[in-house]
């Protein structure tokens, strides 16, 4: 992957940019199904082509545009924490789009710098990935 400026990543809901991203972290996890038996000579074996689970988590550090995430985090109950049609755009043009749940939110307001936030988003259902190169 070519070098990229992290500050060019964005988080959008629909066409509206709701956050300028400074740091975007991505964690994918998959759980394979173990099928090791006596015929495998003690070597762990997995069911081919099938995952028991497939999760995607995005962590975002950045600057909010209109306080959308703060308001969603501070409202009682789940209102606003389920983001339908979220788009995470990477600096190289790659995009992840889908429904996500905001599971954590923090913010900081240092006296001599910009007010920032950190949020964690977990994919809710399937997502689409658009490869900018292809």
Give per-residue pLDDT as tens, 83-100: 899 998 888 888 899 999
Does residue 1 sit within a domain? no
Which pair of tokens denotes residue 6? 């992290």
Measure the CA–CA gap between 116 and 87, rounded to whole angstroms.
20
Does residue 2 sit within a domain? no
Backbone angles phi, psi at 7, to 5 degrees: -65, -10
Average pLDDT over every residue of 46-58: 92
75: left (phi over 0), alpha (psi -120 to 50) or beta: beta
Does residue 37 sit within a domain? yes
- The string of pLDDT tens digits covering residues 109-126 is 778 877 888 999 999 999
Residue 3's pLDDT is what? 57
Q: Domain of residue 101: give its range.
A: 7-130
- The string of pLDDT tens digits covering residues 5-48 is 555 677 878 777 787 778 888 899 999 999 999 999 889 999 99
Supply the pTM of this predicted model.
0.80
Residue 13's pLDDT is what? 80
Backbone angles phi, psi at 72, to 5 degrees: -65, -40
Which pair of tokens denotes residue 83? 């983001």
Measure the CA–CA gap between 111 and 104, rounded to whole angstroms.
24
Does residue 98 sit within a domain? yes
Number of domains in the chain: 1
Give how far Cα 44 sits from Cα of 38, 40, 47, Å: 10, 7, 10
Which CATH number belongs to the domain containing residue 104 in this structure? Answer: 2.30.110
pLDDT band per the 50, 70, 90 thresholds, residue 62: confident
Rg (CA), the chain: 18
């Amino acid at each position: 992957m070519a070098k990229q400026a992290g500050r060019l990543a964005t988080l959008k809901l629909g066409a509206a940019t709701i956050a300028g991203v400074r740091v975007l972290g991505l964690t994918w996890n998959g759980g394979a199904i173990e099928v090791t038996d006596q015929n495998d000579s003690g070597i762990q074996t997995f069911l081919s082509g099938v995952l028991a689970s497939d999760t995607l988590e995005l962590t975002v550090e950045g600057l909010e545009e209109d306080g959308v995430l703060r308001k969603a985090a501070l409202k009682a109950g789940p209102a606003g924490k389920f983001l339908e049609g979220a788009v995470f755009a990477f600096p190289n043009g790659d995009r992840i789009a889908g429904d996500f749940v905001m599971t954590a939110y923090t913010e900081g307001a240092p006296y001599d710098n910009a007010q920032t936030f950190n949020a964690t988003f977990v994919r809710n259902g399937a997502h689409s990935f658009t490869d900018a190169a292809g």
